[in-house]
Amino acid sequence: MAPPSGPVRAPEEGGAAGTRIKAARKGAGLTQQGLAVAVQVSRQTIIAMETGDYAPSVYLALKVAKALNTSVERLWGEEVPVPTPA
């Protein structure tokens, strides 16, 4: 059986990962095209990640995180509250 064609919907509701990717990209001073060149994908792939229409492979997620000087967990992981000291 062949895998479904078309974009892969990211599992996160509300596009939070896409929002974090976009913010990290802008914080790094990169355009969508600049990030695409840095991680060797098309600009359309970056757009799809930012809109939540594409969940990248682990390999690509690592490349994106490295290019944005952050971690995969920060971009795609769940936000875990930091405990406050007692």
Which residues have a Cβ under 8 Å from the Cβ of 25 and sit 6 or more positions away? 31, 32, 35, 46, 50, 68
Give the pLDDT confidence score for residue 50 in this predicted structure: 95
Is 60 a domain residue?
Answer: yes
Give the CATH number of the domain where residue 44 resides.
1.10.260.40
Task: Give the total number of structural domains in the chain.
Answer: 1
Per-residue pLDDT of the chain (86 residues; tens, 9 = 90+): 444 455 555 455 567 899 999 999 999 999 999 999 999 999 999 999 999 999 999 999 999 999 999 999 999 886 656 667 76
Task: Tell me how far apart the alpha carbons of residues 68 and 44 are, in angstroms, rounded to a whole number.
Answer: 18
Give the pLDDT confidence score for residue 4 in this predicted structure: 46
Is 6 a domain residue?
Answer: no
Task: Tell me how far apart the alpha carbons of residues 55 and 8 are, in angstroms, rounded to a whole number.
Answer: 6
Range of the domain at 52: 14-75
The DSSP 8-state label assigned to residue 13 in this structure reads G
Is 3 a domain residue?
Answer: no
Is 5 a domain residue?
Answer: no
Is 85 a domain residue?
Answer: no
Is 1 a domain residue?
Answer: no
Task: Tell me how far apart the alpha carbons of residues 44 and 36 are, in angstroms, rounded to a whole number.
Answer: 8
Within 13 A of 1's CA, how many CA atoms are on the CB side?
Answer: 2
